[in-house]
Amino acid sequence: MKSIFFALILLLSQLANAQYQSLAGEYPKQSVSWWANPIVEIERNAFAFGAFMGGEGGIILNNHYSLGLYITTAVGGFYPPGFDDLSYYRNYFDQGGLVAAYEMTPHALIHPFVKVRMGYGNLALGESLGTTYLNLGLYVLQPSVGMKININSHLRGGVAMFYRIVNPVDLYLQKDANFNAVGLSLILEVGKFKK
């Protein structure tokens, strides 16, 4: 948990420093470009392994700062305790929202970055015959840290570790289900990465 707060504080301090440098005139020229990335994530939450797929994209400011939107969905779903009969229950977890990131030394061949996603999602647990049993809204906060490699001026690869924080889910007579998770993100980013 300490590493999550450290990453968030680092991101905020870098943003504040960049704002100061911009106002002080240390950035002689403002630059804006774009990026997009398919989302492929493998994770472990309190009761199961899972995977998410989706996409994200947005703008890059001054080569270091990214701001955009994301949307993901669970592949195969999750099965909370008491709802693990795979032949009977089907589970869906979709989410989307804002994404912000900071890249340190973005023109180096290999460079670190921090990212945070903030969004809203939907957890739907239904019977395989189509009857909806549960449908809840979820708030999601997902900070991550990772490394990227510059392949060329339009392509980057990389990997990141994340921790997803989700508000507790009340599964009726069950105790609150914990959908918090730790996981690994694979990165294949396309865009206009200026040098």
User: Residue-wise pLDDT tens for the chain (195 aa)?
Assistant: 555 555 556 655 665 565 555 555 555 567 889 999 999 999 887 667 788 999 999 999 988 999 999 999 888 666 655 555 544 555 678 899 999 999 998 989 999 999 999 999 887 766 655 555 667 788 999 999 999 999 998 999 999 999 999 887 666 544 556 778 899 999 999 998 876
Look at residue 10 in the predicted model and tell me its pLDDT: 62
Look at residue 172 in the predicted model and tell me its pLDDT: 56
CB count within 10 Å of CB 185 equals 20
What's at 5, amino acid-wise? Answer: F
* Euclidean distance between CA atoms 146 and 154, whole angstroms: 19
CA-nearest of 96, 105, 191, 181 to 143 is 181
Look at residue 87 in the predicted model and tell me its pLDDT: 47
CA-nearest of 132, 115, 116, 113 to 124 is 132
Task: Assign domain 2-191 one CATH number from 3.40.980.10, 2.40.160.20, 3.40.50.300, 3.60.9.10.
Answer: 2.40.160.20
